[in-house]
Amino acid sequence: MVLDKIAAYVKEHGVTKFKYHTWRKFDNGRGEIRILVLDDGVARCEYQCAKCTNIGYVEAEWKRPFSTACAKCGAKIAVPKLRDAMKREMKKGSAEAGGEE
Ligand SMILES: [Zn+2]
């Protein structure tokens, strides 16, 4: 697994409740983004840049639509918009269910 910071955070803090969680690939699987938002309203965002393959982690105020920039090349990192994505996210329902994709 390339992205492991959020997984480690969830494990370390025993996170079972969260406001929002998503884990997606984009740009044909070259890029990856995972976001975990807890009750503190902070988005913990981990990504792999599709452009330069840099792996980064940022914490920022949670807002929609969420996006950040690659710390290395500055490329925009955003959650891909998929019409049915919301439904699938609702079904998942666990921050610990990593590694499904
Ligand atoms: Zn980059």
Domain ranges of the chain: 5-92
What value does the mean pLDDT take over residues 29-42? 96
Distance of alpha carbon 86 from alpha carbon 22, whole angstroms:
9
Structure tokens at 11: 């494990």
pTM, two decimals, is: 0.78
Backbone Cα Rg of the chain: 13
Residues 6 or more apart in contact with residue 89 via CB below 8 angstroms? 20, 21, 22
Residue 69: Cβ within 10 Å count: 15
Distance 78 CA to ligand 1 centre (A): 12
Distance 17 CA to ligand 1 centre (A): 31
Distance 91 CA to ligand 1 centre (A): 31
Confidence band (pLDDT; 50, 70, 90) for 100? very low
